[in-house]
Amino acid sequence: MARPKKETEEENVTKTKPKTLKPKKELTLKDYYSADKILAEGSTYNVIIGQRSNGKTFDCVSRALEEFIKNEYPSVYIRRYDESITSANIFKLCSAHINDLITMSNGEYNNFEYKNRTFTCTFVDQSNGKVVRRSQPFLYCVGLNSWEHKKGQDRGYVKYVIFDEFLTRDTYLNDEYAKFMNLLSSLIRDRTGTIIFMLGNTVNKFCPYFSKFKINMKDIKQGFIYNFKYGETTLSLEYCREYGNTSKVNKSYFDFPEKSLEMIKRGYWEINTYPAFYSGKRDECRSIDMIYIHFGEFVLRWELMIDDSGNVVSFLSPSNFDKALKSGKIFITQDSLTLLDNKMCFGELPHNRLTKLLVETWHGNKMYYANDDTGDVFENFMKMCVGSNGFRRF
């Protein structure tokens, strides 16, 4: 992620004024998500984030099915790992669309078949259970972690590429953004007209895609669509409003006064609760040393401290880029220009006595945080570190 722009720097990224999405006054049985409004923006990439079970995936798969029935154009469905697209885990993706399939095809098809990571439309004879008719593939399923080893032949033109659950609280793949872009290149080739959906629940606003797209999620408000342009590439992002049917069910079970449940109830960002110093505790601690961390749009100060009882702890607090750069302390950053200009800047956590002690406080749960947002940024940074070869020495 590049450091904050100086006045002399220019980036070929533009952002238009966000458009608000007003909730319906009356909730209906069909008060679930529809991609109509974001598609009306005409962007190639359509990033859709919101609460669980609000209909994001259902709507996109329904569009893929309709496109296939009308024009015989297939689509592609992507998940991060292969195990998510095994027969046992994925068949329900299309089983909810059987009634729509019968209606759209005027009875030509009445079921789906999943074989070799591909969905086809079928007509099953109800008297003997045998497949009478089978269509060409309408939905190819791909695991991002293994696609390079299973590229196969050109699938031809695909109308939609649906990357489902692209946000996670677990670890991302190594260099996942590049893997995703290479997969898109392999699917699209020299054709145009393919529309890309990226669907995510609001489980983690710190992810490599937002950094690469230069989107600061602090500026993104619920119920709005935001448009971005990168040269000739266009991207729209929708943070879905709260949907009535989903919220009504969720509140029946999860309406406890707990901040961590707001993601389930209303689609707010899921943020964990992290330990903080009790009043006056920080004053009882003596600072030993510190390092700085640049992750996404954030800069953190990671401070090693010792309390009056001789216990070694660490404390995470927000900082800023210029202060970190001028501190003369170790500064972890992915900014290539900064890495070249400053000998105290490193692309990953260096191994020395200070960092060893800091990592020990992390392993030993002897850490405190200025606030929960700081904790979330740091935990996502550490997930990235754990996946690196250099971290194995700690």
Residue that is written with structure tokens 């099953």 in the block: 124
pLDDT above 70 coverage of the chain, percent: 82
348: which DSSP letter? S
The pLDDT of 207-220, averaged and rounded, is: 88
Structure tokens belonging to residue 283: 């004053």
DSSP one-letter code for 268: P
Going by their DSSP bridges, the two strands 13-15 and 224-230 should be labelled as antiparallel
Is the pLDDT score of 239 beyond 60? yes
Q: Map out the domains of the chain as residue ranges.
A: 13-266, 282-393
Mean of pLDDT values over 299-315: 92
- The confidence band for 29, taking pLDDT boundaries of 50, 70 and 90, is very low
Of 112-126, 233-247, 357-371, the poorest mean pLDDT is in 233-247
303: tokens are 């401070």
DSSP strands (E only) in 175-326: 195-201, 224-230, 233-239, 286-295, 298-306, 312-318
Backbone angles phi, psi at 78, to 5 degrees: -115, 135
pLDDT above 90 for 3: no
For the chain, give the percent of residues with pLDDT over 90: 56
Average pLDDT over residues 139-162: 86
DSSP 3-state assignment of 71? helix
Of 102-116, 193-207, 252-266, which range is least confident? Answer: 252-266
pLDDT bucket at 307, cuts 50 / 70 / 90 = confident
DSSP state of 264: H
pLDDT at residue 361 greater than cutoff 90? yes
For the chain, give the mean pLDDT: 85
CA diameter of the chain: 80
In the predicted structure, residue 5 carries a pLDDT above the cut 90: no
The band of 25, judged by pLDDT with boundaries at 50, 70 and 90, is: very low
pLDDT band at 246 (very low <50, low <70, confident <90, very high): low
Rounded CA-CA distance 373/251 in Å is 25
Give me the CATH code for the 13-266 domain, please: 3.40.50
Q: Evaluate whether 227 touches 16 at the Cβ level (below 8 Å).
A: yes
Average confidence (pLDDT) over 349-353: 91
User: Is residue 89 within 8 Å of 143, Cβ to Cβ?
Assistant: no
DSSP state of 98: H
Confidence check: pLDDT of 56 > 80: yes
Q: What is the DSSP string of 316-341?
A: EEE--HHHHHHS-S-EE---HHHHHH
Q: What is the pLDDT of residue 30?
A: 55
Report, as an integer, the average pLDDT of 248-268.
60
Is residue 66 predicted with pLDDT exceeding 70?
A: yes
* Range of weakest confidence among 19-23, 37-41, 127-131, 225-229: 19-23
Residue 120: pLDDT over 60: yes
Whole-angstrom Cα distance, residue 115 to residue 33?
29
Q: What does the block give as tokens for 385?
A: 């570190």
